[in-house]
Amino acid sequence: MPYTPDKPKLAESSDELRARIPGWGADLDPKDRPSVPKERFDPNLNGAHWEFPDRQPEKWPRERSIEHKFLTPVFGTSCPPKGLSGMIRRYSYRRYSEGRAAHWLLLLAADRVDAVESTVGSFLSRHPDNPLTETGVLSEFSHHGLASRLRGRRVDRVHHPLDPIIVAAPWVLAGGVAYLTLRRVVGRRRS
């Protein structure tokens, strides 16, 4: 009880816990744990045979945080920035530090633009996006979708209906815009 000096008694003693739970107390000594102390200086321990690594060739201007002194010697080369989303991303990295909300909000906005650009682009390719297969929603039928969602008192049921809206909204919006555009074009030709 917090109103008196002593700690509440535990239901089981250490000996009882050691007998019941495999490995109980194997790391009992707080000083003898792999992450203690937090910082342990030993530059020779890690397999590195360099003080500063060789530099990876930069094949295109690699965007970087302005909090870095220079481009890191090694970096990922997945998905170079492209299109409008790439312009937003480059601007965000060039203009704002990681400490600014604008940096992250622009990157999130670029992600949404990227998704639209890529989806539209996919319809001009041999591999158009297919929301039915790409969302994995068919597993609802093969992996007890309804029963899983109804079982127990899971609290996420209340926002499950938002997921299909989030997924479908851009498609419905794009379909609506395409329909209106087509109707206008056809209307003009007829008149």
Partner 1 sequence: MRAMVYRGPYRLRVEEKDRPVIEHPNDAIVRVTRAAICGSDLHLYHGMMPDTRVGMTFGHEFIGVIDEVGPSVRNVKPGDRVMVPFNVYCGSCFFCARGLFSNCHNVNPNATAVGGIYGYSHTCGGYDGGQAEYVRVPFADVGPSPIPEWMDDDDAVLLTDALATGYFGAQLGDIVEGDVVVVFGAGPVGLYAAKSAWLMGAGRVIVIDHLDYRLEKAASFAHAETYNFAEYDDIVVQMKKITDHLGADVAIDAVGAEADGNFLQHVTAAKLKLQGGSPVALNWAIDSVRKGGTVSVLGAYGPMFSAVKFGDALNKGLTLRMNQCPVKRQWPRLFEHIRNGYLKPSDIVTHRIPLEHIAEAYHIFSAKLDGCIKPLIIPNAA
Q: What residues from 57 to 86 belong to the interface with partner 1 (CB under 8 A)?
A: 57, 62-65, 67-68, 71-79, 81, 85
Residues 122-181, interacting with partner 1 (CB under 8 A)? 122, 127, 129-131, 133-140, 142-145, 148-149, 151-156, 158-160, 162-163, 166-167
Tokens of 33: 């744990």
Q: How far is the CB of 188 from partner 1 (least distance, A)?
A: 33
Measured from the CB atom, the residue of 72 and 181 that comes closer to partner 1 is: 72
Q: For residue 141, how many C-alpha atoms fall within 13 Å in the half-sphere facing its CB?
A: 5
Tokens of 69: 């002194």
Tokens of 17: 């816990």
Residue 113, judged by CB atoms within 10 A of its CB (0-12, 13-18, 19+), counts as: middle
Binding test (CB under 8 A) with partner 1, winner from 19, 53, 123, 178? 53
Measured from the CB atom, the residue of 21 and 87 that comes closer to partner 1 is: 21
Shortest CA distance to 62 belongs to which of 104, 94, 28? 94
Measured from the CB atom, the residue of 97 and 186 that comes closer to partner 1 is: 97
Q: How far is the CB of 180 from partner 1 (least distance, A)?
A: 23
Measured from the CB atom, the residue of 139 and 181 that comes closer to partner 1 is: 139
Over the window 7 to 36, marking each residue x when it contacts partner 1 by CB under 8 A and - when it does not, the resulting string is xx-xxx-x--x--xxxxxxxxx-x--xxxx
Residue whose structure tokens are 């999130």: 108
**Beta-carbon contacts of residue 63 (< 8 Å; ≥ 6 apart):** 81, 89, 90, 93, 94
Shortest CA distance to 68 belongs to which of 107, 50, 94? 94
With CB under 8 A, what is the number of residues at the site for partner 1?
106
- The yes or no reply on residue 87 touching partner 1 (CB under 8 A) is no
Q: For residue 63, how many C-alpha atoms fall within 13 Å in the half-sphere facing its CB?
A: 19
